[in-house]
Amino acid sequence: MITMAAFAIIGAALGLFVRPRWLGVLLPIVLAVLVEGGVYWAIEVMERQPNREVLIMRLQAIFGEDWIGMSGPIAAAVIGAVMSALLGAFTEPKPVAPVLSAEGIQRRAGKDGRYARAQGMVEERAIHAQAESRIDQILGL
């Protein structure tokens, strides 16, 4: 039961935070299979050694006695990872496209050394042209 809860929490955390989402689901499954398989292999090795009965019983109580008992934590990791990946995908904010691009915001100096207006920022009107011509006359440009 402890390992089932632990693998469910680990699966949910990895499923939510690891990108891309399919890797966030695959990683907890592989981790759970490796841990459970490693414990099962260690129990098999210890059964051939004398005086390991208490350790074997405790490991079997924690991780399960056979592959059927060990499949519960793996299933908890799978369910936790899949559910958190799905819910994370639904609650993830959609990226908003910028209204102005960086090229439209940049101001470039023209041949006369003056900066040009940013494209789309100022509406071109006749009064602006008259004001620019008056400024040019005053400055002698």
Are 14 and 81 in contact by the 8 Å Cβ rule? The answer is yes
Are 64 and 70 in contact by the 8 Å Cβ rule? The answer is yes
Give the pLDDT confidence of 59-83 residue by residue, as tens digits: 888 888 888 888 888 889 889 988 8
CA distance linking residue 89 with residue 103, whole number of Å: 32
User: pTM for the whole thing?
Assistant: 0.59
The domain limits of the chain are 2-91
CB within 8 A of 125, min separation 6: which ones? Answer: none
CA distance linking residue 137 with residue 141, whole number of Å: 6
Give the pLDDT confidence of 39-55 residue by residue, as tens digits: 989 988 998 888 888 99
